[in-house]
């Protein structure tokens, strides 16, 4: 090949490449934040959600919830006359993207706190960063590892997986299910659930007869399920986020396994019912109370706040509110309340949240303390069963 | 041990798809010496178009439209390769196909969203208004009827390809063009037409595979990546350009992968890596491909 030719190809190639790159960038770019009119100096809050990628069904309602709350807040005058501006980032469910977003937010000196990320992996990736930079972080992810050991500046609003596990263990005990087959997604959520299950089930006298796992991108888990089947468990517990659990449910029914199937709060969205179809029938899982807001007794302290959020979200987006949006609701509300009280100071905001008691949110009633940066107990969960494609309180 | 038949059944289902993707790689490689990394995306386009259409229309409409959409995408990718064909090296063209695959994935995500879409099986039973797959029992294994469709359609496609390349004028022209481009040009075969044909054919195969397998796997905008890479492994294992080798390698790969799932956890998480580990070993030991008898003429 001669030099001149190479040069020509080079130029043409570069042009075509740039064109493709531009198209790709355009197709992947998160929706640019719409510039709003800013009256006075706005208070900035960072938000990192997995709006694209496998976990978009979790991240999208979180972002929508925050958008809705910001709109309402600014309509009613903002915080002490200051409008609130949220800088949204999409981590695509990837830790490295979350780190990048976090770095940008930390270097933005107007940013008061970060809400999110949606998932455990990205949350763990940025927790220490935020703590060192003294940036309050309110994670929306499940794993207890985010707040244990306690880091001064790191909180989380989502219920912890250990609470979900104890709720399920209560169910197993009540229904005399003593031999359990366990299967988990190998992502951070599933691995953390597996750890908690091992720890808590043993002390509850439940025997785990087989433990399996599957990759998040697997399209077939028949291999693992046949192994569980041969261990003859009384029930199967599956810990993961969609679409894995739906494939587990389908494959299990296809294999003719009739055992009750118990799952995690990772399937607390319509997506699961849509994907698993009739295999979703009868599945029991712990969930935030929001998806059964109309069914919980009036004596529940959260009843009012849950119904308000459910109605608002339904009106704004023409779809029912789910478990995950609630995490963002609580995180946003905690930050806003704190700023209202102590003003725009990261350290003071953090101090306010750490001492917050009896905050009635969507995920539960929070009582934060110096040693508990989640502030919830297992009562934050309701046990929900899928019947005729609908969620009902499990007995 | 009674799990083995079950695993082989699910391995054969994935294996068939790997085999079809591998044939696609071989067709395009034969015609252009290009390894088309957008091959998996053809499967995705077929699956997604069918998934979207099947929500409203019957399979009789959705199937051909999805395959036509796949062909169209194939032609578009072919144009990406064709425009700089004369001036660019093969490696540039391969990188172009990588770009095209990223572009296609991004567009699919933009238009159809992130979530997996459930697709009704071809011949299912209606339960509560949702069409679900029937199952039959073979020996110790439970087999979804859709998996039989996958196997049957793969067999038909393989036969059709064989007849096409052996007996039709276009097929013979494509073969001639890949064996001896200059000679083919001398007898009046347009190499550009042959390139477009090979991409279209590979895309059609991919799209058919996508439509057929989506009821088993769900349709998802990023499903093409893994399928494409594993199909590539199968194509290389079988010897690029060698159809029979690709088919056998694809099936073997699917089965080995499924069997790897019984490894004790956490090793079973890595069953996706099996294909690549095998590929690495084969490339080190026998780089011309496992199932090639003599070195292919360049």
Same domain? For A123 and A192 the reply is no
pLDDT over 70 at A22, yes or no: no
- Using left for φ > 0, alpha for ψ between -120 and 50, and beta otherwise, residue B73 falls in alpha
Note whether residue B294 is domain-resident: no
Q: pLDDT: is B102 or A30 the higher one?
A: B102
Candidate ranges A21-35, A38-52, A327-341; pick with highest mean pLDDT: A327-341
Same domain? For A174 and A155 the reply is no
Query: pLDDT tens digits for B81-134?
Result: 777 767 778 888 888 899 999 999 999 988 988 778 888 899 877 766 677 788
Same domain? For A133 and A185 the reply is no
Q: Is A204 helix (H, G, I), strand (E, B) or coil?
A: coil
**Closest-CA distance of chain B to residue A275, Å:** 6
Q: What is the CATH number of the domain that holds B100?
A: 1.10.3470
ipTM entry: 0.72
On whether any CB of chain A is under 8 Å from the CB of B115, the answer is: yes
Q: Who among B3, B13, B99 is closest to A17 (CB)?
A: B99
Note whether residue A67 is domain-resident: yes
Q: Who among A9, A213, A222 is closest to B7 (CB)?
A: A222
Query: pLDDT tens digits for A265-288?
Result: 989 888 899 889 889 999 999 999
pLDDT over 90 at A173, yes or no: yes
Instruction: Outline where chain A has alpha helix (H).
Output: 3-28, 56-75, 95-107, 120-132, 161-174, 188-203, 222-230, 244-254, 270-276, 303-317, 323-342, 346-354
Note whether residue A7 is domain-resident: no
Given a contact cutoff of 8 angstroms between Cβ atoms, the answer to whether A127 and A95 are in contact is no
Tokens of A85: 């501006």
Tokens of A90: 């999409």
17-56 in chain B: CB under 8 A from chain A: none
Query: pLDDT tens digits for A309-324?
Result: 999 999 999 988 988 9
Same domain? For A117 and A52 the reply is yes
Nearest residue in chain B measured CA to CA from A211: B265
Interface test with A, best of B11, B55, B142 (most A CBs within 10 A): B142
Residues of chain A in contact with residue B89, where contact means CB-CB under 8 angstroms, are: 1, 9
- Looking at residue A6, its pLDDT comes to 43
Query: pLDDT tens digits for A195-212?
Result: 999 999 998 999 999 998
Note whether residue B75 is domain-resident: yes
Interface test with B, best of A198, A223, A224 (most B CBs within 10 A): A223
Same domain? For A277 and A173 the reply is yes
Domain with A193, as residue range(s), is 162-294+382-393
How remote is the C-alpha of A345 from its chain's centroid?
27
Same domain? For A254 and A120 the reply is no
CB–CB contact B261 A389 (8 Å): no
- Looking at residue A23, its pLDDT comes to 55
CB–CB contact A27 B107 (8 Å): yes
Catalogue the long-range contacts made by B138-144 (C-beta closer than 8 Å, 24 or more residues apart). B138/B5, B138/B9, B139/B5, B140/B2, B140/B4, B140/B5, B140/B6, B141/B5, B141/B6, B141/B8, B141/B9, B142/A254, B142/A255, B142/A256, B142/B6, B142/B9, B143/B9, B144/A254, B144/B216
Nearest residue in chain A measured CA to CA from B106: A27
Same domain? For A250 and A389 the reply is yes
268-287 in chain B: CB under 8 A from chain A: 268-272
Nearest residue in chain B measured CA to CA from A56: B114
Round to whole Å and give the CA distance between B87 and A344: 60
On whether any CB of chain A is under 8 Å from the CB of B91, the answer is: no
CB–CB contact A16 B110 (8 Å): no
pLDDT over 70 at A19, yes or no: no
Pairs of residues, one from chain A and one from chain B, whose beta carbons lie less than 8 Å apart = 142
Same domain? For A286 and A148 the reply is no
User: Residue A395's pLDDT band (boundaries 50, 70, 90)?
Assistant: confident
Given a contact cutoff of 8 angstroms between Cβ atoms, the answer to whether B221 and B114 are in contact is yes
Note whether residue A115 is domain-resident: yes
Q: What share of chain A is helix, strand, coil (3-state, %, to 5)?
A: 50, 20, 35
Q: Who among B89, B128, B258 is closest to A223 (CB)?
A: B258
Q: Is A185 helix (H, G, I), strand (E, B) or coil?
A: strand
Same domain? For A139 and A233 the reply is no
- DSSP character string of A68-92: HHHHHHHHTTTBTTB-EEEEEEE-T
**Closest-CA distance of chain A to residue B114, Å:** 6
Number of domains comprising chain B:
1
CB–CB contact B258 A220 (8 Å): yes
- Looking at residue B168, its pLDDT comes to 94
Looking at residue A49, the DSSP 8-state letter turns out to be E
203-262 in chain B: CB under 8 A from chain A: 216-218, 220, 222, 226, 258-262
Round to whole Å and give the CA distance between A62 and B66: 34
Q: How far apart are the first and last CA of chain A?
A: 75
pLDDT over 90 at A67, yes or no: yes
Domain with B59, as residue range(s), is 4-285
Note whether residue B293 is domain-resident: no
The number of residues making up chain B comes to 298
Nearest residue in chain A measured CA to CA from B130: A277
- DSSP character string of B113-151: -SS-B----SSEEEETTEEEE-EEEETTEEEEHHHHHHH
**Closest-CA distance of chain B to residue A221, Å:** 8
Note whether residue A285 is domain-resident: yes
Please provide residue A78's backbone torsions phi and psi, each rounded to the nearest 5 degrees: 70, -155
CB–CB contact B109 A242 (8 Å): no
On whether any CB of chain A is under 8 Å from the CB of B5, the answer is: no
Note whether residue B78 is domain-resident: yes
Number of domains comprising chain A:
2
Note whether residue A246 is domain-resident: yes
Same domain? For A207 and A264 the reply is yes
- Using left for φ > 0, alpha for ψ between -120 and 50, and beta otherwise, residue A375 falls in left
Q: Who among B84, B102, B270 is closest to A13 (CB)?
A: B84
Note whether residue A85 is domain-resident: yes
Query: pLDDT tens digits for A331-375?
Result: 999 999 999 999 999 999 999 999 999 999 999 999 999 999 999
In sequence order, the β-bridge partners of residue B219 are B117
Residues of chain B in contact with residue A227, where contact means CB-CB under 8 angstroms, are: 3, 262
CB–CB contact A278 B113 (8 Å): no
Round to whole Å and give the CA distance between A144 and A147: 6
121-140 in chain B: CB under 8 A from chain A: 127-128, 130, 132-133, 135
User: Distances from the Cα of A267 to the Cαs of A142, A201, A258, in angstroms?
Assistant: 13, 21, 20
Low-confidence ranges of chain B (pLDDT < 50): 295-298
Q: What is the CATH number of the domain that holds A111?
A: 3.40.50.2300
pLDDT over 70 at A218, yes or no: yes
Note whether residue B292 is domain-resident: no
- Looking at residue A175, its pLDDT comes to 94
pLDDT over 90 at A61, yes or no: yes
Residues of chain B in contact with residue A231, where contact means CB-CB under 8 angstroms, are: none
CB–CB contact B84 A20 (8 Å): no
Nearest residue in chain B measured CA to CA from A275: B118
pLDDT over 60 at A28, yes or no: no
Same domain? For A289 and A195 the reply is yes
Same domain? For A226 and A353 the reply is no
Given a contact cutoff of 8 angstroms between Cβ atoms, the answer to whether A69 and A333 are in contact is yes
């Amino acid at each position: 090949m001669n030099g001149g030719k190479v040069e020509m190809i080079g130029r043409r190639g570069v042009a075509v490449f740039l064109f493709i790159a531009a198209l790709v960038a355009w197709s992947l770019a998160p929706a640019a934040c719409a510039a709003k009119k800013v009256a006075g100096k706005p208070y900035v809050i960072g938000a990192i959600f997995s709006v694209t990628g496998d976990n978009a069904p979790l991240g999208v309602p979180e972002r929508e919830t925050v958008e809705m709350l910001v709109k309402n807040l600014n309509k009613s005058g903002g915080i002490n006359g200051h409008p609130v501006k949220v800088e949204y980032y999409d981590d695509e469910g990837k830790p490295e993207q979350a780190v990048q977003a976090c770095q940008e937010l930390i270097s933005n000196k107007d940013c008061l706190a970060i809400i999110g990320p949606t998932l455990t992996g990205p949350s763990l990736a940025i927790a220490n960063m935020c703590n060192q930079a003294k940036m309050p972080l309110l994670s929306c992810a499940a794993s207890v590892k985010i707040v244990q050991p306690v880091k001064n500046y790191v909180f989380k609003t989502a219920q912890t997986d250990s609470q979900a596990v104890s709720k399920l263990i209560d169910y197993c005990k009540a229904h005399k299910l003593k031999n359990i087959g366990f299967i988990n997604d190998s992502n951070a959520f599933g691995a953390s659930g597996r750890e908690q299950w091992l720890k808590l089930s043993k002390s509850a006298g439940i025997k785990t007869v087989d433990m399996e796992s599957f990759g998040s991108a697997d399209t077939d888990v028949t291999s693992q399920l046949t192994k569980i089947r041969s261990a003859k468990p009384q029930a199967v517990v599956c810990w993961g986020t969609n679409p894995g659990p739906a494939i587990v449910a389908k494959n299990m029914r296809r294999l003719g396994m009739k055992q009750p199937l118990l799952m995690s709060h990772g399937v607390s969205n319509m997506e699961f019912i849509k994907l698993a179809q009739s295999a979703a029938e009868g599945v029991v899982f712990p969930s935030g109370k929001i998806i059964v807001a109309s069914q919980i007794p009036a004596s529940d302290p959260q009843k009012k706040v849950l119904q308000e959020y459910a109605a608002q979200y339904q009106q704004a987006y023409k779809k029912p509110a789910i478990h995950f949006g609630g995490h963002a609701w609580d995180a946003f509300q905690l930050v806003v309340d704190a700023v209202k009280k102590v003003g725009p100071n990261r350290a003071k905001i953090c101090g306010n949240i750490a001492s917050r008691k009896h905050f009635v949110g969507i995920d539960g009633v929070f009582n934060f303390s110096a040693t508990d940066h989640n502030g919830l107990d297992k009562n934050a969960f309701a046990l929900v069963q899928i019947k005729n494609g609908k969620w009902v309180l499990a007995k | 041990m009674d799990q083995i038949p079950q695993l082989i059944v699910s391995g054969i289902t994935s294996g068939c798809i790997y085999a079809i993707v591998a044939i696609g790689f071989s067709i395009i490689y034969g015609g252009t010496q290009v390894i088309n990394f957008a091959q998996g995306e053809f499967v995705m386009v077929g699956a997604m178009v069918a998934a979207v259409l099947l929500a409203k229309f019957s399979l009789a409409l959705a199937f051909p439209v999805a395959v036509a959409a796949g062909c169209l995408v194939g032609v578009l990718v072919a144009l990406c390769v064709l425009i700089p064909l004369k001036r660019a090296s093969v490696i540039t063209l391969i990188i172009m196909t990588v770009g095209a695959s990223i572009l296609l994935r991004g567009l699919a995500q933009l238009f159809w969203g992130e979530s997996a879409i459930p697709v009704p099986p071809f011949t299912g039973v209606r339960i509560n208004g949702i069409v679900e797959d029937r199952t039959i029992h073979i020996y110790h294994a439970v087999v979804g009827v859709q998996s039989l469709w996958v196997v049957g359609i793969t067999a038909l496609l393989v036969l059709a390809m064989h007849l096409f390349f052996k007996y039709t004028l276009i097929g013979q022209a494509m073969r001639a063009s890949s064996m001896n481009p200059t000679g083919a040009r001398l007898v009046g075969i347009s190499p550009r037409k042959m390139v477009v044909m090979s991409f279209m054919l590979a895309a059609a195969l991919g799209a058919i595979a996508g439509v057929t397998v989506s009821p088993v796997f769900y349709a998802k905008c990023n499903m093409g990546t893994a399928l494409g890479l594993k199909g590539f492994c199968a194509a290389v294992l079988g010897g690029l350009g060698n159809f029979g080798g690709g088919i056998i390698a694809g099936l073997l790969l699917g089965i080995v992968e499924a069997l790897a799932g019984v490894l004790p956890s956490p090793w079973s998480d890595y069953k996706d890596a099996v294909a690549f580990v095998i590929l690495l070993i084969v490339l080190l030991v026998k780089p011309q491909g496992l199932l090639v008898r003599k070195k292919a003429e360049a």
